[in-house]
Amino acid sequence: MKLSGVIPPVCTPRGADGALDRASLSRLCHHLVDDGVSGLFVGGSSGETALLDASTRLAALDVAVEAAAGRVPVLYGVIETGTARVLEAARPAAAHGAAAIVATVPFYVAPHPAEILAHFEALAGGELPVVAYDIPSATHVRLEPAVSIALAREGYAIGLKDSSGDLAGMRSVVNAVRDLPFSVLTGSETMADIALDLGADGIVPGLGNVDPAGYVRLYSAARAGDRVAAAAEQARLTKLFGIVDVADRTRIGFTAGALGAFKEALAYQGWIDSPSMWPPLGALDDVEKKAVRELVAQASGRGGGLG
């Protein structure tokens, strides 16, 4: 399986009862696929996966698979601290319809590169192909480019989601794996055009929940070699990405502010019923919500949803 295009890490709506809002998630997934994304990633950082229990994660996977209806693959995040926990989380994924699992390096511990390779070697023995996920801001351990290249050469993974922000490192991976069955996907919302120009195969943008069509246009322009159009779309999306900075950081953390902004935008657009966050993350206040809605309206050019 070769991954490419726009694969948003899907937000996980929370209902008034504190449980997964299946109807909202289904509506969101249908919208994303209808707007041209190439896949769905359930259980990623934008989905607040670290805050969900196992049954909620699997329920979200079920909803996404049903909504995708075979039109696009659904990737399933198995973000856990160590090999045994990841294998346990991954075990039911195939039966629930996932096309691949997405795993980070082991965290809380500080693994050596050899230990990271052993971790992914163990995961490669499972039913589903593996996408490695480099997000040092969350794991506090870097999946070094040399290790990513080794994963590709050994066949332990079919791709890399690079959320490191290291374009030079990403470029070295792209150049090394060019002739291998391995996809390099950028997790950057604001440097996607550059990453594609450097040879990335696709984009996994959290902001893609809010404006999937914009990222599809960016990807299409980049693949057509139209750098001017890609850069123009990137500039518009970067301005929209300002929604992640509206929250007062003295009151709530960055994650709550950023993901809360995504959810507020989705509620404003009508794709989900509520911007409720999973505990313990706090909510945007009314002033911050208004700021998010104004930025979304400005980006759409018509005071409503994007697309």
Active-site choice (2, 76, 108, 133): 133
For 270, phi then psi, to 5°, come to: 95, 10
Where b means 16+ CB within 10 Å and e means fewer, 41-58 reads bbbbbbbbbebbeeebbb
Helices (H), 78-226: 83-90, 113-124, 136-139, 145-154, 167-176, 192-197, 212-223
147 marked among binding-site residues? no
Cβ neighbours of residue 230 under 8 Å, at least 6 residues apart?
193, 196, 197, 218, 221, 222
H or E element that contains 67: helix 54-68
Mark whether 133 is an active-site residue. Answer: yes
Contact assessment for residue 21 and residue 284, using Cβ atoms and an 8 Å cutoff: no
Cβ neighbours of residue 235 under 8 Å, at least 6 residues apart?
none
CA angle 187, 221, 206 (to 5 degrees): 25
Contact assessment for residue 163 and residue 135, using Cβ atoms and an 8 Å cutoff: yes
For 34, phi then psi, to 5°, come to: -60, -30
Q: Which structure tokens are listed for 37?
A: 């994304």
Q: Which structure tokens are listed for 81?
A: 């601290």
Contact assessment for residue 16 and residue 274, using Cβ atoms and an 8 Å cutoff: yes
What 3-state class would DSSP assign to 204? coil
Contact assessment for residue 92 and residue 128, using Cβ atoms and an 8 Å cutoff: no
Active-site choice (76, 156, 161, 268): 161
Query: Which residue ranges make up the annotated binding site for pyruvate?
Result: 204
Residues at the binding site are 204
Query: Which residue numbers are catalytic?
Result: 133, 161
